[in-house]
């Protein structure tokens, strides 16, 4: 099925972002607007009914029987819940649409604006637009698509950012980013060195990502076997830990 | 001949040690005298739902690579293909193969819906070192060290080469209710903006929802493409500045101006005189020629 989600061009998104951020939200009226476009070569566009179903399913997922985001008990676990369930919730979203900023601008501003406003009360503009790093929803969907929902939902925000802010070297390489993320999760809480400090921390993950990127100018990770990659990642984290501990 | 080595702490192989000799995509061969100077264009048949099977035969100078990189006879050279798509920011990897002669055939499969716009296809030469042997001066010291990497661009289709397409209900307006499509070309650009504009910011195609099924058929696509070409040429020829661009040898940065120029050159030639008058007088012939060309582009003959 060549189904296309709706694409909202940046200029249209920017023109209505202010209203959404101010809390002026009318989902049904906005879904009726025809200023979006579809991906070329598609059999059909996603229907309004399906988009409303996504809203309803997200409320159910969060354990809310009304359609008021204020009834959601806590925003603490929202990112983790959305990441864990995003592939199921958007099961008919093709990756090519999922990687498009315009699709996520539409989903955020037209389908789930109240969720975005509730999740990000600090109201930063880029939370309402598509984007791999700061978008309310796209960043979470992308992590789940690349790493798998289980692995992606266990990463902390700054850990995930260190992977996905380097798309060409790390975030776009599924095999490498999975092994990198697995190392973080499998070693959280493990201590090492004379200091007995934890071998995984925000600083160490950042340092490891930078070091990994640097080694790629010499070593080709694309041709390494899984075992070689795992050893390479473990060595990189070991060096990053020793470097941070020596400061 | 003296060689230039770019050092990463060891010697890299010379660029001329690897060349593409045959490239085929989904069973179609794309012959070229020099792949390094060519952008492979799949825009006439590729769509996002297409799975890509890329096969490449590379010719390598194995003994020169061994010598350039100070390798020992026991060291193994591997060659692999991988791709990076700037549209989706995804990499896809092929299997690395051991190089035993001067030719190697490699394959890369890319699943559907994971590509957009264009990809960079990379061929990579790496080495697996025998740890028991002492390294010579200039040799890499770690296995999987990159000895040489080359890339070729493959143009697909995406926001840079495609219009915005939207299905609409035409029944509300009796003047257009029976129309199949409405082509909108944004001309609100000054010349500089026009020369750098991409398709997606210029062209919007509104399709009558009642004819949604027809639009997928090749014969209707040809008519749609013909309409787009005729309209875009009419707009550009009517504008003196744009006509000047069409009549000279300059190449624009934007995909839209490039497209208009390509179409212009299928009808007129560089420097041709009296274009505006010929455009007016020969509309039927020009349209027939464009339609014929569109049917060739869409491979319906």
For testing the chain A interface, which of B89, B125, B209 should be mutated: the one with the most A CBs within 10 Å?
B89
Any idea how long chain B is? 301
Mean of pLDDT values over B154-162:
66
The contact set of A with B (CB < 8 A) is 2, 7, 9, 34, 36-41, 43-45, 94-96, 99-100, 132, 167-168, 171-175, 217-224, 228
Beta bridge partners of B167: B207
pLDDT score at B162: 62
Segment A33-52 shows an average pLDDT of 85
**Torsion sign over Cα B133, B139, B145, B147:** negative
Average the pLDDT over A130-155 and give the result. Answer: 95
List of chain A residues whose C-beta atoms are within 8 Å of the C-beta of residue B169:
34
pLDDT digits (tens, 9 = 90+) for B32-86: 888 988 778 786 677 788 899 999 999 999 999 999 999 999 999 999 999 999 8
Q: What pairing do the DSSP bridges indicate for beta strands B203-208 and B164-168?
A: parallel
pTM metric for this prediction = 0.77
List beta partners, residue B165: A38, B205
Return the structure tokens found at B84.
């990076």
- What is residue B300's predicted lDDT score, i.e. its pLDDT? 43
Name the average pLDDT for chain B: 86
Per-residue pLDDT, B186: 76
Q: To the nearest whole number, what is the mean pLDDT of chain A?
A: 91
Taking the CA of residue B185 and the nearest CA in chain A, the distance in Å comes to 15
B136, B69 in Cβ contact below 8 A?
no
pLDDT, mean of residues B171-195:
82
B215 in contact with A, Cβ within 8 Å: no
pLDDT digits 0-9 by tens, B80-119: 999 999 888 999 999 999 999 999 999 999 999 999 878 9
Query: Is residue A238's pLDDT more than 50?
Result: yes
Tell me, what's the pLDDT at B1?
47
pLDDT tens, residue by residue, A83-134: 999 999 999 999 999 999 999 999 999 999 999 999 998 878 999 999 888 9
> Apex CA A99: angle with CA B150 and CA B89, to 5°?
15
Q: Which of A38, A167, A174 sits opposite B165 (nearest CB)?
A: A38
Show the beta-strand stretches assigned E in chain B: 18-25, 28-29, 40-41, 52-60, 76-85, 90-93, 97-98, 103-110, 118-128, 145-155, 164-168, 181-185, 203-208
Q: What is the pLDDT of residue B44?
A: 66
Report the residue of chain B nearest A2, measured CA to CA. Answer: B49
The stretch A211-226 carries a mean pLDDT of 92
Q: Average pLDDT for residues B158-172, to the nearest whole number?
A: 69
């Amino acid at each position: 099925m060549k189904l296309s989600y709706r694409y909202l061009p940046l200029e249209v998104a920017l023109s209505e972002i202010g209203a959404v951020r101010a809390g002026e939200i009318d989902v049904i009226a906005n879904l009726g607007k025809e200023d979006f476009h579809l991906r070329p070569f598609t059999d059909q566009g996603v229907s309004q009914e399906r988009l409303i179903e996504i809203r309803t399913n997200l409320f159910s997922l969060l354990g809310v029987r009304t359609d008021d985001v204020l009834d959601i008990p806590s925003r603490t676990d929202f990112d983790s819940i959305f990441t864990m369930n995003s592939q199921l919730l958007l099961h008919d979203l093709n990756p090519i649409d999922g990687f498009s900023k315009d699709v996520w601008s539409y989903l955020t501003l037209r389908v789930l604006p109240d969720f975005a406003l509730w999740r990000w009360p600090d109201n930063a503009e880029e939370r309402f637009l598509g984007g791999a790093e700061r978008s309310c929803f796209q960043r979470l969907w992308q992590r789940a698509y690349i790493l798998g929902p289980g692995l992606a939902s266990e990463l902390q925000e700054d850990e995930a950012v260190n992977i996905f802010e380097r798309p060409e070297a790390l975030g776009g390489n599924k095999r490498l980013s999975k092994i990198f993320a697995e190392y973080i999760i499998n070693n959280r809480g493990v201590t090492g060195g004379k200091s007995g400090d934890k071998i995984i921390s925000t600083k160490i993950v950042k340092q490891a990502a930078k070091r990994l990127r640097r080694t790629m100018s010499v070593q080709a990770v694309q041709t390494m076997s899984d075992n070689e990659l795992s050893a390479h990642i473990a060595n990189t984290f070991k060096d990053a830990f020793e470097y941070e501990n020596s400061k | 001949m003296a060689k230039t080595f770019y050092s990463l702490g060891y010697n890299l192989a010379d660029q001329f040690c690897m060349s593409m000799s045959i490239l085929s995509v989904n069973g179609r061969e794309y012959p070229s005298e020099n792949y390094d100077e060519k952008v492979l264009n799949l825009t006439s048949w590729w769509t996002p739902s297409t799975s890509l099977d890329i096969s490449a035969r590379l010719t390598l100078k194995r003994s020169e690579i061994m010598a350039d990189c100070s390798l020992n006879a026991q060291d193994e050279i591997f060659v692999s293909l991988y791709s990076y798509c700037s549209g989706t920011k995804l990499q896809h990897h092929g299997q690395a193969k051991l190089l035993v002669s001067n030719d190697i055939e490699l394959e890369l499969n890319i699943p559907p819906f994971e590509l957009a716009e264009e990809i960079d296809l990379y061929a990579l030469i790496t080495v697996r070192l025998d740890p028991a042997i002492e390294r010579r001066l200039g040799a890499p010291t770690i296995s999987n060290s990159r000895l040489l990497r080359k890339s070729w661009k493959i143009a697909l289709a995406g926001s840079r080469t495609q219009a915005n397409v939207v299905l609409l209900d035409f029944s509300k307006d009796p003047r257009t209710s029976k129309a199949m499509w409405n082509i909108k070309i944004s001309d609100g650009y000054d010349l500089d903006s026009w020369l750098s504009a991409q398709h997606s910011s210029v062209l919007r195609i509104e399709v009558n929802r009642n004819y949604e099924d027809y639009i997928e058929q090749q014969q209707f696509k040809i008519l749609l493409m013909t309409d787009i070409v005729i309209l875009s040429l009419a707009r550009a020829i009517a504008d003196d500045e744009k006509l000047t661009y069409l009549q000279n040898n300059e190449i624009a940065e934007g995909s839209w101006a490039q497209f208009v120029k390509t179409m212009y050159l299928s009808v007129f030639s560089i420097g041709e005189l009296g274009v505006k008058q010929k455009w007016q007088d020969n509309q039927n012939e020009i349209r027939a020629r464009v339609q014929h060309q569109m049917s060739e582009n869409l491979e319906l003959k």
